[in-house]
Structure 1
Amino acid sequence: MAPYRVLVVDDSPFMRKIISDLIVRDPIFTIVATASNGREAVEAVRDCKPDAVTMDLEMPLMNGIEALQIIMKECPAPVIMLSGISEDNTRETIKALQFGAFDFIRKPSSALSNDIYQVGEVLLEKLRIAVMTKRYQPVIEMKETLPFEPSASKAVRDKQLILPPAPPIHTTYHERKDEPIQEADARAAKKPSPKPVEKKFVQAAVPERRDFSVAGKKGSLPDSSSSYKHIVAIGTSTGGPRALHEVITSLPANFPAPVLVVQHMPPKFTKSLAQRLDTFSGLKVVEAEHGCRVSAGVVYVAPGGYHMELAKDHSGYSIVLTEAPPRNGHRPSVDVMFESLVPFGELQRHAVIMTGMGSDGAKGMKKLVECGVDSTIAEAEETCVVYGMPRSAVEAGCAHQIVPLQRIGEQLIKAVSQ
């Protein structure tokens, strides 16, 4: 079989050479072309039709995100972004994933052989997954406008739960509409940046408990935010940022349950993911902190590098973060989060597994089913970027429903409305 053809895009000749050398270490790949900016990348994709692309974020003439959007519309291919770990880079990387990038890797921080070797191994692993995945990125009509204006009244924000009409399932790339999200980005950019909050992960036998205020741009939550009978837990990996955007933005501002999320992602990137979801969602979305109180109408994203569990004491439910060993190669792990819900039979528990490589979450979901969980959902194969984690749940017989991505939010609204 002929090798898979890869396009390498970076404005640095040194990095183009480094990335190319890392890729051809695996004989199943060959470098079909290189490009030094986004414009060259778009032309190379049109001319060469590569099987995969590695794309730098920051480049002259046309940056990586601008090139990505054109590629996804005109001649889609799996694109793996190369990202730094600065706040700006992590924020732009999350945006790229929501625009259709297959995945991302951390750019080598130096020319040290050990660092480059580690990055190379991760890159090759992601390229292998990308080229062996028939469907690189499902196209969905993302809800990409802000859910309400900041001046909207509380009555408008807290409208009653109403099931939206089921959106059509799109199976081509050419129907994607990215303009609304750009307009929303522009509006969000005009808002003053929130003051940074120093996070402290307390690892103690009796963790410090803190009241976690959720008041802010979405207003105060109803009095029932600390009293609820439902809880939702969602696990995802490759393709997850875009899938989470679809599901979280489909939930109304008065959703009467907390939502716990594990997205396989390194530290710092999960914070940017939470901030971006928060921009477009009627719910409050935060990166979870150790000891914070769990409230209805709030989405808690597990921070990269920490397992997230649900705990309970005399005053209610809270988040526990730990640095226990990785499970299924991941920390945070979906299995760890799901298993932490097992003791809380007084809550109506709803577990969701979406797109991702591997099997993380299937064992935890099975334990929830065995202890009487109220509902479990696996994303249908036709909308998954990688049908690995949902497949494992389906094959284990623990998925009550197999649902296309666009209908998962609807099913959750039904579940918590009963």
Structure 2
Amino acid sequence: MPEFKVLIVDDSPFMRKVFSDVIDADAAFEVLATASNGKEAVDLTLKLKPDIITMDLEMPLWNGIEALKRIMALQPTPVIMLSAVTDNGTRDTIRALQYGAIDFIRKPDGAVKLDIRQVGEQLLEKLHIALETVSSGALRMLPAVEEQGEAAAEIIPVVVDSPKPPVEKTKKPDVPAEPLLNKTRIVESFKPPDQPVKTRNAELPRKLDRIPDKPDSSRLKPNHASPGISTSRLPERPLVKDLASQTVKKAASLELKTAMPKKSVRTTVTEAQANRDQSQAIPPTTNPKPTSSFTHLVAIGTSTGGPRALHEVLTGIPADFPAPILVVQHMPPKFTHSLAQRLDNFCSINVREAVDGELIETATAYIAPGGRHMTLRKEVTGTYRIKLSDEVPKGGHKPSVDVMFESLVGHPQLKRHIVLMTGMGSDGAKGMKALQTDGAQTTIAEAEQTCVVYGMPRSAVELGAVSQILPLQGIAPVLVQEVKSRKP
């Protein structure tokens, strides 16, 4: 069995030694090299091309986030982040997951007493999962979905080998599709409608001229597409608005208004009436407030690669979305809170970590807290509330997608739209099948070519629980169409 080569990146000599000993003790892995800062990590990645990288967050020169951005742009490689359980640590970990890291473990520090042996075991577990997915060809290294909304790192070209001529892409032979249910619709090429760029609380780029080009596709790992699904072209995300040009236009408009002579104080009754009629004829463009009255509900389950996928989907939901969204993302406590806060900064809808007993409203996404199951509870008044529980994990997961999905069974008065996205294992597949049998309107699985790990969606497809297979970029537009087009 070939050894899986690992690059360890940490500014602590003690932690580099500990992780090296733990990894070398496993016959499946070999420590290829160690780095003490982000710049060394990028240089060694380009030179040695490791199979996987363990990356600390806080380091000199370039921190883990900056190094990750450069690696994903120049030499996409699976990265496991080492995160301190602090507010800054959890926030940066969520950023790293959205920039392309496949997973993370909690690093011992002074504030949280974590046993070194326990951390080593967790690291080996994550490495074996990565080894399994890479060996099976199920792991996808995809570009970050968020570069347009934040200042990306300035990519400094590093020449390691002599430049090679570009490899011409050859068209793959058509592969016959696997037999699925007749009702399953596989979308081959989906182009969502144009949508305005969302700016509510958005973290706008500080330097637009430093947003890097897309990573060289020739350096990405092979993309094994699902049979019957075309990967020839996926829709591009909308471009960031040119803020400078907007500023110039506003300034010009202001100067024009200033230069124009003021209107006479005397205004005829006819003019005043016409102006009043015109203002009444055009209602103000304000979004309705969230309400606890709804007939549609969306539920989403995801795991490895989920923060990136949730960003793509939830930012595509408009502020007037007439349904609530329940989300289970496999993640430890505290990290789900940071995930909800970060997503809320980018989304038109409200996004928050769910609270036990709170009233469920439209245009709001509720993320299950790490370490607690989340279910739907109907009140005698006809409204719905969040219910959190501390019951034992199901299938090794807490929160569990299956637990959430199964709580939606037996609510025929709700038009339920169910989504399973990237993740290891099969959590959510049985719950989706039960909802399909119970009359759910929509059951969507993310297509293989956009999943970081095609595990949970594959299980649902194989179980025959899926009515539509969609690439990540197509999920939000379809949800909007399904919810808004169906009669209450």
TM range (shorter): 0.7 to 0.9
- The equivalent residue for 1:362 is 429
- The equivalent residue for 1:139 is 143
Letter in 1 for 2:141: Q
SS at match of 1:252: coil
User: Would you say the 8 A contact 1:262–1:302 is kept in 2?
Assistant: yes
- The equivalent residue for 2:90 is 90
Asked if 1:291 is matched to 2:357, the reply is yes
- Cα pair distance change 1:44/1:258, threshold 3 Å: same
- Cα pair distance change 1:113/1:233, threshold 3 Å: closer
Displacement of 1:227 in angstroms is 1.2
User: Would you say the 8 A contact 2:140–2:450 is kept in 1?
Assistant: no
Letter in 2 for 1:11: D
Displacement of 1:116 in angstroms is 2.1
- The equivalent residue for 1:209 is none
**CA–CA separation in structure 1 for the residues paired with 2:324 and 2:350:** 10
- The equivalent residue for 1:233 is 299
Task: Specify which of 458, 463, 486 is matched with residue 391 of structure 1.
Answer: 458
User: Would you say the 8 A contact 2:421–2:457 is kept in 1?
Assistant: yes
- Cα pair distance change 1:180/1:18, threshold 3 Å: farther
Taking structure 2 as the reference length, the TM-score comes to 0.70
**CA–CA separation in structure 2 for the residues paired with 1:150 and 1:27:** 48
User: Would you say the 8 A contact 1:294–1:317 is kept in 2?
Assistant: yes
User: Would you say the 8 A contact 2:201–2:346 is kept in 1?
Assistant: no
- The equivalent residue for 2:339 is 273
Letter in 1 for 2:198: P
- The equivalent residue for 1:349 is 416
Any gaps of 5 or more consecutive residues in structure 1?
152-169, 184-218
Displacement of 1:344 in angstroms is 1.1
Query: Any idea what the Cα deviations from partners look like across 1:112-153, whole Å, max 9, x if unmatched?
Result: 9982222222211211222333334223654844713569xx
- The equivalent residue for 2:208 is none
**CA–CA separation in structure 1 for the residues paired with 2:334 and 2:343:** 15
- The equivalent residue for 1:318 is 385
User: Would you say the 8 A contact 1:82–1:106 is kept in 2?
Assistant: yes
**CA–CA separation in structure 1 for the residues paired with 2:293 and 2:474:** 27
User: Would you say the 8 A contact 2:444–2:466 is kept in 1?
Assistant: yes
SS at match of 2:115: helix
Any gaps of 5 or more consecutive residues in structure 2?
150-196, 203-215, 221-233, 244-284
Query: Any idea what the Cα deviations from partners look like across 1:366-399, whole Å, max 9, x if unmatched?
Result: 1101111111001111111111101110010001
Q: Using the aligned pairs only, state the percent identity.
A: 56
Asked if 1:42 is matched to 2:5, the reply is no
- The equivalent residue for 1:412 is 479
**CA–CA separation in structure 2 for the residues paired with 1:107 and 1:113:** 10
- The equivalent residue for 1:244 is 310
Matches within 5 A, 1:17-416: 17-109=17-109, 115-131=115-131, 132-133=133-134, 134=137, 135-139=139-143, 141-142=145-146, 144-145=148-149, 147-149=198-200, 222=288, 225-315=291-381, 316-416=383-483
**CA–CA separation in structure 2 for the residues paired with 1:93 and 1:220:** 35
- Cα pair distance change 1:314/1:294, threshold 3 Å: same
Displacement of 1:402 in angstroms is 0.9
SS at match of 2:376: strand
Query: Any idea what the Cα deviations from partners look like across 1:76-126, whole Å, max 9, x if unmatched?
Result: 10000000110000000000000001110111347x998222222221121
- Cα pair distance change 1:243/1:100, threshold 3 Å: same
Displacement of 1:306 in angstroms is 0.4
User: Would you say the 8 A contact 1:138–1:171 is kept in 2?
Assistant: no
Corresponding residue pairs, total:
363
- The equivalent residue for 1:188 is none
- Cα pair distance change 1:368/1:221, threshold 3 Å: same
- Cα pair distance change 1:223/1:241, threshold 3 Å: closer
User: Would you say the 8 A contact 2:144–2:308 is kept in 1?
Assistant: no
Query: Any idea what the Cα deviations from partners look like across 1:147-186, whole Å, max 9, x if unmatched?
Result: 13569xxxxxxxxxxxxxxxxxx96778999x979x9xxx
Letter in 2 for 1:248: L
**CA–CA separation in structure 2 for the residues paired with 1:65 and 1:88:** 12
SS at match of 1:225: coil
Report the more deviating stretch, 118-127 or 32-41: 118-127
**CA–CA separation in structure 1 for the residues paired with 2:82 and 2:369:** 21
Letter in 2 for 1:416: V
Q: What is the RMSD computed on CA atoms of the aligned residues? A: 2.7
**CA–CA separation in structure 1 for the residues paired with 2:201 and 2:452:** 34
Report the more deviating stretch, 131-140 or 90-99: 131-140
Taking structure 1 as the reference length, the TM-score comes to 0.82
Displacement of 1:221 in angstroms is 6.5
- Cα pair distance change 1:345/1:303, threshold 3 Å: same
Report the more deviating stretch, 246-255 or 136-145: 136-145
Letter in 1 for 2:88: D
